[in-house]
Amino acid sequence: MPRMNAVSIIGLPREELLRRFLSKELRNDGAFVVGVLTTGIYCLPSCVARQPKPENVRFFADEDAARATGLRACKRCKPDRFYQRFDPDGELVVDLAQEARRNPIRFIDVGAMISAAGVGKAKLTELFRRYFHTSPADHLMAARIAHAAEHLSRGGAKVIDAGLAAGFESSSPFHQHFRRSMGLSPGAYKEFCIGTDDGFSLTLPENFRYQDLFVMFGRDASGVCERVEGARGIKALLLHDRPVRLEFSFRSKSVDIRLKGPRRITRHTRLEAHSSARRMLNFASDPGAFEKRIARMAGMGRLVRGRRGLRIPQTSDFFEGLTWVIVGQQVNLSFASSCRSALIQLAGRDAGDGFRAHPDPQAVSELMVEDLKALKFSGRKAEYLIDAARKIVSGELDSDVLVLLPADQLDERLLAIRGLGPWSTQYLAMRSFGFEDCVPVGDAGLVAALQRFFNLEERPDVNETLRCMEPFAPHRSLATCHLWKTLAEQK
């Protein structure tokens, strides 16, 4: 099956190939190979190794052509492994997903995506489910909304023009879908982007459960980074390099969010605050599809009983999630929370009113192993966390790249981080990247919940865990969260 955006190097000017190489875009991998004559290696176009001088670069159509000249595979980007597992289906759906993000107006509907892909509707749906844990329609809608939001954030365009430029055919569906995803109407979002108010209100999805977010906010008894006070939750975090506090006050159908901090709240801080709030509240998820499906499955409806509307709260960013999975491995929740709190006290930044924002990768990269061992971190965990932070700072581990990857490539990238195993990568994919069909195999809580829910004589092993979770696909992340809740409710 051909790549949708396959690039033939035959006839392309060298300047264009250099431009594509310097862009480091993943979509060029598999389209051509880059040879570096001074080092004798060949690389993928997206390789993040030190950039060679243009005069020392030669381009090849494929790996075989590069090897024929005596070049060897780069140890950083591992092009030999890439070509060993070259996946035409994966390349097809990744290219299509990227094109929808870049230019959603190209596709009037899913039918246009099907035509561009050259496969049937069922096949394309299966591919999107497998690689991105979503449907083609949902992916295209998310791309339209992101495109329209970017258009509106610049402030000059008419509201309807932003919708039309994103591929919406009329005002009514544009307003409906935009409000559902962003919590604001398109007009209100435009005013928010150009305004100066240090607060905003978001319309909540139907059956929204704020208690699930508060469980995450309340896991640390010290309250140094998050705190719950009645129907109000407070989260300290860094936004545009400024420590701020987001104060969530929930009403029946909306949430009021105020920004407070020791420094002036800028426009960029406000925009990031809206994005972070949507992320933590997980507006991108729609539990209704899972709830309707499981209601039709014999004996399974009890899994969601009393918990309709449950969403999986997302971490405020990738590094916060990564820190938690490293800190929380093989220890109980109380000890993990204590270590996390101590780290925030040491390396976090003052957000006012007794709060400290979670440290960013730069702050943790400057620590030494002994600093963390003094906080009761094991030597290994201290090494893992500092090493990961330094990889992020260096650009070797880029969250802006990771968030665009399909599930299998994300899992591979995360597994390459020292200290992370299958449980960690699935947990991160579910809690920090919003993937909806994850199974954190090896999780003690999931194993115990499955044994109880299915009345098993013994705790399930890895294979049995996957077998038990199979009926919940393609919503196994949400099923996992419901299963965890069953344990908490029976204590």
Residue 1 has pLDDT above 50, yes or no: no
Q: Do the two domains 14-86 and 90-206+226-291 of this chain adopt the same fold?
A: no
Structure tokens at 68: 């024929």
The arithmetic mean of pLDDT across residues 99-123, rounded, is 96
User: Average pLDDT, whole number, for the chain?
Assistant: 93
Place 128 in a pLDDT band, splitting at 50, 70 and 90.
Answer: very high
Domain residue ranges of the chain, discontinuous segments joined by +: 14-86, 90-206+226-291
Place 441 in a pLDDT band, splitting at 50, 70 and 90.
Answer: very high
Residue 390 has pLDDT above 70, yes or no: yes
Distances (CA, A) of 27 to 83, 353, 379, 435: 14, 46, 39, 21
Q: Tell me what pLDDT residue 382 has.
A: 97
If one compares 299 and 323, the residue with the highest pLDDT of the two is 323
Q: Tell me what pLDDT residue 411 has.
A: 95
Q: Domain 14-86: which CATH class?
A: alpha beta
Place 9 in a pLDDT band, splitting at 50, 70 and 90.
Answer: low
Q: Tell me what pLDDT residue 491 has.
A: 60
Q: Tell me what pLDDT residue 3 has.
A: 38
pLDDT tens-digit readout, 153-196: 988 779 999 999 999 999 999 999 999 999 999 999 999 998 88
If one compares 63 and 488, the residue with the highest pLDDT of the two is 63
pLDDT tens-digit readout, 377-386: 999 999 999 9
Q: Tell me what pLDDT residue 430 has.
A: 97
Q: Tell me what pLDDT residue 13 has.
A: 86
Place 83 in a pLDDT band, splitting at 50, 70 and 90.
Answer: confident
Residue 87 has pLDDT above 90, yes or no: no
Q: Tell me what pLDDT residue 84 has.
A: 82
Residue 76 has pLDDT above 70, yes or no: yes
Residue 278 has pLDDT above 90, yes or no: yes
Report how far Cα 320 is from the mean position of its chain's Cα atoms: 12
The arithmetic mean of pLDDT across residues 345-351, rounded, is 97
Q: Tell me what pLDDT residue 119 has.
A: 94
Q: What span, in angstroms and rounded, lies between the C-alpha atoms of 252 and 204?
A: 8
pLDDT tens-digit readout, 210-267: 999 999 998 888 889 999 988 899 999 999 999 999 999 999 999 999 999 999 899 9
Task: Please give the positions annotated as active site.
Answer: 443
The domain 90-206+226-291 having CATH identifier 1.10.10.60: the answer here is yes
Q: What span, in angstroms and rounded, lies between the C-alpha atoms of 247 and 277?
A: 10
Place 459 in a pLDDT band, splitting at 50, 70 and 90.
Answer: very high
